[in-house]
Structures are given as C-alpha cells and as structure tokens.
Amino acid sequence: MGAVADAALAHGGEVIGVIPRSLLEKEVAHLGLSDLRVVASMHERKATMAELADGFIALPGGIGTLEEFFEIWTWGQLGIHHKPFGLLNVAGFFDPLLAFLDRLADQRFLRAEHRGMLRARSVAGDLLHELAEDRPVDVWKWLSEAES
C-alpha cells in the first residue's frame, strides 16, 4: 500500500489513509499522506474506506486484502453500495481464485449475475476503463421458483 501511495503522491494525487488506532500502534503509518484518518476498529476502517471510494481495486496481497475485497463484493451483491470493483490480475496472480469463482458459479453457489459483477484485468488502464464503464447489477430475487 505504501508503494501505491508514494506513486500517487509523486504524480500529484491525493491519498487518504484510514488506519485503526490498534494498528497505528503496531505499524508505521504513512505520515506523508494527504489525509490520515485514525479510526476505532477495522470495521470502522472498512466502512470509512467504502464511503470515501468511487470504486475498488484489489492488487495481489494476502488474506487481509482478500477479506476486504470479498466484503466489498458482498456489500455490492446485497445492494449496500453500487460501486464498481475489480482485481488487478498482475502476472496471473488471481487466476486460481478466478477459476474457483467460476466453479462456484457453475455449481450454483454464486449467481451468474453476481459473478459477472467482478472485473479482472492484467493491465491497470484496461481495468480502470472497464470499471469506469461499469453499471450496477440489481438482483431482486436471490432464488427463482426452480432454485428454491
């Protein structure tokens, strides 16, 4: 996250950081950000980031990245937000995850409409363009008569 923040700042971008107080005490916060917001909990951090964002892109990362990304997807699926989201699939990093998600959809654990909400591209510009063109998906009924 620091490298992305540094690159954005170096090119004149505004970078807002949100960190829980407990992590502020354990980690070195980026003090050069445009705005650093200290919140009470991880839940508040995610809610604050979701409120501030126009969209969401996950880069290759660990379990925390996946947890935050899946929560954003779930919120989109539930209609809590209508913002685009995607994975920057650098060097095929997310290929196994994408195959698993396709399997979930094939086996009807994930509606095709909800699987279709996720964008994944290997080139940042392509992903940004696709997210800018994205339109929200509204699924009013989770199960049809045949599925229940």
In order of their start, the domains of the chain are: 1-52 (no CATH), 56-139 (3.40.50.450)
- Cβ atoms 84, 135 nearer than 8 A: no
pLDDT in tens, 55-112: 999 999 999 999 999 999 999 988 899 999 999 999 999 999 999 999 999 999 999 9
Q: Which residues, 6+ apart, have CB-to-CB distance to 142 below 8 Å?
A: 111
Structure letter (DSSP) for residue 116: T
CB distance 119 to 131 below 8 Å:
yes
**CA–CA gap between residue 29 and residue 143 (Å, rounded):** 45
Q: How does residue 143 score in pLDDT terms, banded at 50, 70 and 90?
A: low
pTM: 0.86
